[in-house]
């Protein structure tokens, strides 16, 4: 069992809709969570980090964390074709210098 699980997709949403990307993790010691975006042929870039239960909003992006359910999600409001990419969920535990990534969910925003 992978430590960070994601559905590989593709997830297709129409332009302007809300895209919901989900991730679960198995290590209860995980305390920091991240969402990275990777465009085809490019390297991953950090778009959101979340450290405590609840929601964190940044522009059109909202990250949600529920440690009791070991669940992390990323909502993208008003999805644009430029949001089409693979979204990687990542987790790390304090004291561990290893960041564990999920396989990534491929998002396709249809114009």
Partner 1 sequence: KAGVTQTPRYLIKTRGQQVTLSCSPISGHRSVSWYQQTPGQGLQFLFEYFSETQRNKGNFPGRFSGRQFSNSRSEMNVSTLELGDSALYLCASSLGAMGNTGELFFGEGSRLTVL
Residues of the shown chain interacting with partner 1 in the complex, contacts defined by CB under 8 A: 32-34, 36, 42-46, 49, 88, 90-92, 94-104
Residue whose structure tokens are 């920091």: 32
The tokens describing 86, both together, are 């693979």
Nearer to partner 1, 17 or 100 (CB): 100
What is the nearest approach in angstroms of partner 1 to the Cβ of residue 107?
Answer: 15
Is 107:15 a contact under the CB 8 Å cutoff? no
Coil, helix or strand at residue 107 = strand
| Nearest to partner 1 of 7, 17 (CB atom) | 7
**Residue 71 or 96: which CB sits closer to partner 1?**
96
Separation of CA 106 from chain center: 11
């Amino acid at each position: 069992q992978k430590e960070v699980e994601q559905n590989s997709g593709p997830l297709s949403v129409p332009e302007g809709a809300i895209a919901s990307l989900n991730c679960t993790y198995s290590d209860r010691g995980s305390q920091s969570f991240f969402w990275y975006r990777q465009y085809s042929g490019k390297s991953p870039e950090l778009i959101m980090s979340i450290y405590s239960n609840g929601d964190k909003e940044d522009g059109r992006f909202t990250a949600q964390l529920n440690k009791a359910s070991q669940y992390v999600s990323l909502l993208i409001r008003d999805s644009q074709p430029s949001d089409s990419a693979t979204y990687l969920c990542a987790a790390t535990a304090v004291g561990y210098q290893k960041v564990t990534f999920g396989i990534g969910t491929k998002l396709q925003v249809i114009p």
